[in-house]
Structure 1
Amino acid sequence: MPLDRLVLILVIVIAAAAATVWLGAVVAASVAFPAGTFLLIPAALVAYVVFRVVADRLGNRDDDRYDKMD
């Protein structure tokens, strides 16, 4: 990968992260949330990802290596 493309990707990622933090700060400042609400959203996202991974592992027959053991 050329260096200029890598630098461009890094600049875009850093700008997107800064915009996300800024937008989150604006939204948080405009609405009064209880302290636990801020922890509820990331916890729900992590729980959703874990649920999807477990559901994919249980439902995927091609990924089940124990069925092929004799």
Structure 2
Amino acid sequence: MADSLDTIARHMLEVSAKLKVGDLSGTELHLFGDMLSALAETVHLYADKLGSPEAEGRHPSREPPPAR
């Protein structure tokens, strides 16, 4: 999980730099959003496995993002 966080952090810096100079495509931004969504899902699943009290009823069946 720590490696995933490091990877996401590096991508965030790259995306931020590209946004500042206007060199980011919509496709790249969508892919980054998908990566963040996957990370959030993974973090929630780990929290659920650790017995987070918030886990009860927190995650109704998650649906995949709509196809683009």
Range into which the TM-score falls when normalised by the shorter chain: 0.3 to 0.5
TM-score (norm 1): 0.41
Higher relative contact order (CA 8 A, sep 6+): 2
Higher Rg: 1
Query: Which protein is richer in helix relative to its size?
Result: 1
